[in-house]
Amino acid sequence: MEDRAATRTPPADFLRMRAAFIGPGWWLPWIGVAAYGVCGFLGVRLAARYGGGFGPPGDDRPLYFLRTDLLSGMCLAAGTVLCLAIALVTWSRYPGSARAMLWISVLWSGGGTWKAILIALNTRHLFDPARTQASRWPTFNSYLTDPLIWAGQAAVLVGALVFATWPEVNALRKRHL
């Protein structure tokens, strides 16, 4: 019985290679953290500079929030794409660390990216308040409570967590078969 359990335990080198924050490539997840911080900061700065006003007087459309969320989400999407490119390049050498960098980036930036995609698909002329067409969100409350935004953000969260934990769950499942 002891010999059987010993044969199923992975070698120490394998575990060290897969460790994200302590093994080789430990710096990769921190690139994901830094990309989120820098892109989040750039998104806030761009939104402050180009977000503009609230629209014409008496306008209930959430133009200010649509513009700021679009700009912030675009910056977060750029950081996620950067992390994806770095992960693809480093995956063969540092698989655990590349995976950690990728899921950290998607977990933190995915919701804002999803919101930016929805805004881009559902608005026209967003930076010209007189011509803006936001057919999906006629009021701020409709934007705030939009189920598609919430469902997409929840799907990104669940997807990132499944992506992060799948190798460990799969390894445990194989170990107990």
pLDDT digits (tens, 9 = 90+) for 78-102: 999 999 999 999 988 888 888 888 8
**Per-residue confidence at 126, pLDDT binned at 50, 70, 90?**
confident
Closest CA to 95 of 15, 160, 8, 9: 15
Report the C-alpha gap between 50 and 42 in whole angstroms: 12
Average pLDDT over residues 135-148: 88
- Among 14-28, 74-88, 125-139, 153-167, the range scoring the smallest mean pLDDT is 14-28
59 against 108, higher pLDDT: 108
pLDDT for res 37: 93
Confidence check: pLDDT of 157 > 60:
yes
Of 89, 106, 127, 122, the residue nearest 39 (C-alpha): 106
Report the alpha-carbon distance of residue 110 to residue 76 in Å, rounded.
8
Is residue 113 a contact partner of residue 70, using CB atoms and an 8 Å limit? no
Domain ranges across the chain: 25-175
Whether pLDDT at 17 is above 50: no
Q: What pLDDT score does 5 carry?
A: 52
CA atoms within 13 A on the CB side of 89: 7
Query: Token pair of 49, please?
Result: 């500079």
